[in-house]
Amino acid sequence: MEKKSKLSGRKPISRLFVLFLACVICGIFAAGNSVVAREGCIDCHSNTDLIVTNKKLFDYFKEWSGSIHKQEDVTCSDCHGGNPDVSSKKAAHGGAKGTRKMMKAVNFQNIPATCGQCHDDILDGYVKSNHYKHLKSKKQVKQGPNCVTCHGSLNSVALNVNTVSQTCQSCHNQKSKNNPEIPEKAEWLLNKFLSAHRLFRYVTIKSSTVDDRAFLKKAGIQIQTLSEEWHTFDLKLFEEKTRMLLDALKSKRNEIKKRSKK
Ligand code: HEC
Ligand code: HEC
Ligand code: HEC
Ligand code: HEC
Ligand code: HEC
């Protein structure tokens, strides 16, 4: 933005003054070589010198930079906190105790709340689950999974039919005797759920009437709600609702097919 007005050569004094004031407030002066960083965390953590000096640290940056969160402009400070507007490490991390605080935001028990800042609907479902009880309870021997256990942390991915059973299996297996039938069931259920997604897209493309559109609006809300309810891990209820949705979508599809034959 500033570059453009510089080119035109007509920067109004008042704007310059505001800019000057802003610089004073930030404590940054044009004479120094520090520049107000777009996102100080990324500027520093992406420094390729780190490949040699602190490779593990650089790997965290690399992992994030290939993620959907990067695409969506969700940056380090959104999950870790700290101050993204400064370029010095100490100030960015929030002083001497800062890194501890940053790690606290992503410690095992606090992760759901950190992710839930944006995924609030999913968090609502998750806190109703048995998993959450086992995450929060101090006495429990069996560890409950949090968001990151199932989705990964910096490079969060949605599970699919090929990955879901493996994810559940790490806790639900013959050896742990913790509901070993769950992984297979989850794979089957997710497949059904994704069928509903596919049918929904088919009906969307073929829809033409006011009635179709009203149907789609309702079904769209149901799909959204089911994504949240998946996280309560009440599989019986989820199965029932998914079946009802699939049945409704199938009969709509048949109706559309019949109509187009006429
Ligand atoms: C000027 C460079 C610089 C800036 C700016 C910076 N960091 Fe760091 N960060 C580092 C280095 C170097 C480390 C390795 C540990 C250390 O030296 O303190 C680190 C460590 C970390 C850690 C790991 C802490 C631990 O205890 O293992 C996290 C998390 C982190 N930074 C997040 C952030 C976030 C979030 C921001 C922005 C708000 C940020 N950093 C800004 C250089 C920086
Ligand atoms: C979507 C949320 C999210 C974003 C965005 C994110 N992180 Fe993290 N990060 C986490 C979580 C959760 C953990 C801890 C769990 C783990 O290590 O798998 C973590 C762990 C780390 C660690 C390891 C600390 C240690 O010592 O174990 C570092 C370093 C780090 N992140 C740096 C960054 C940097 C740098 C960025 C930006 C380029 C970033 N993170 C962006 C969620 C995030
Ligand atoms: C600052 C907001 C924000 C935070 C914090 C955040 N996310 Fe996201 N996340 C998004 C956005 C935006 C998307 C892309 C749109 C969508 O799928 O909802 C997304 C997408 C996702 C996806 C879907 C990926 C895909 O391939 O479809 C998963 C899984 C996910 N996030 C998990 C997490 C986890 C786990 C955490 C915490 C470690 C987290 N998110 C923290 C905003 C956030
Ligand atoms: C026990 C494993 C598990 C846990 C714990 C878990 N999820 Fe999920 N998550 C899934 C499965 C399975 C799906 C459904 C498949 C899909 O859409 O990816 C899903 C879907 C998602 C999606 C994609 C939803 C969409 O509309 O496509 C996001 C985002 C997400 N989860 C975020 C989170 C967040 C945030 C948490 C923590 C509060 C969390 N998950 C906890 C397994 C889990
Ligand atoms: C980190 C370990 C862990 C992972 C990973 C995990 N679970 Fe769980 N799950 C638990 C624990 C612990 C319980 C509580 C068992 C109990 O109450 O005895 C539980 C309970 C459940 C229950 C309730 C069973 C009941 O009747 O109480 C369901 C359903 C469930 N998990 C589904 C899943 C699915 C689906 C996945 C994969 C997408 C998954 N879990 C991944 C640890 C895990």
The tens digit of pLDDT for each residue in 62-87 reads 999 999 999 999 999 999 999 999 99
Ligand number, closest to the Cα atom of 50: 1
DSSP assigned state of 32: S
Burial 236-251 (b: 16+ CB within 10 A, else e): eebeebbeebbebbee
Higher per-residue confidence, 153 vs 248: 248
The atom of ligand 2 lying closest to the CA of 147 is: 12
User: What is the pLDDT at residue 175?
Assistant: 94
Looking at residue 23, its pLDDT comes to 43
Token pair belonging to 157: 């991915």
The pTM assigned to this predicted structure is 0.88
Q: Is residue 153 in contact with ligand 2, taking CB distance under 6 Å? A: yes
Ligand closest to CA 235:
5
For the stretch 89-122, pLDDT in tens is 999 998 878 788 888 889 999 999 999 999 999 9
21 has pLDDT over 60? no
Between 148 and 4, residue with greater pLDDT: 148
In angstroms, what is the span from residue 29 Cα to ligand 3's centroid? 37
pLDDT, position 95 = 81
For ligand 1, say whether the CB of 90 is within 6 Å of any of its atoms: no
**For residue 19, pLDDT beyond 60:** no
Q: Is the pLDDT at 3 greater than 80, yes or no?
A: no
Q: Name which residue leads in pLDDT, 22 or 200.
A: 200
Per-residue pLDDT of 196-244, as tens digits, reads 999 999 999 999 999 999 999 999 999 999 998 999 999 999 999 999 9
**Domain spans of the chain, in order of start:** 16-104, 158-260
Reported as a single tens digit per residue, the pLDDT across 159-177 is 999 999 999 999 999 999 9
pLDDT band at 7 (very low <50, low <70, confident <90, very high): very low
Cα 111 to averaged position of ligand 4 atoms, centre (Å): 13
What pLDDT does residue 166 have? 94
8: CA distance to ligand 4 center in Å?
50
User: What is the number of the ligand closest to the CA of 72?
Assistant: 3
Q: Candidates 44, 54, 74, 80: which one to mutate for ligand 2, based on the most atoms within 8 Å of Cβ?
A: 80
Ligand 4 first shell, C-beta below 6 A? 112, 115-116, 119, 122-123, 126, 131, 145-147, 149-151, 158-159, 164, 190, 227, 230-231
pLDDT over threshold 90, residue 132:
yes
Q: What is the mean pLDDT of the chain?
A: 85
What CA–CA distance (Å, rounded) separates 230 from 233?
6
Between the alpha carbon of residue 188 and those of residues 146, 163, 182, 226, 246, the distances in Å are: 22, 12, 10, 15, 14
Q: Check whether 138 has a pLDDT greater than 90.
A: no
pLDDT value of position 30: 37
Q: What residues have CB less than 8 Å from 27, skipping those under 6 apart?
A: none
Q: Contact 110/102 with Cβ under 8 angstroms?
A: no
Q: What tokens does 26 get?
A: 């930030």
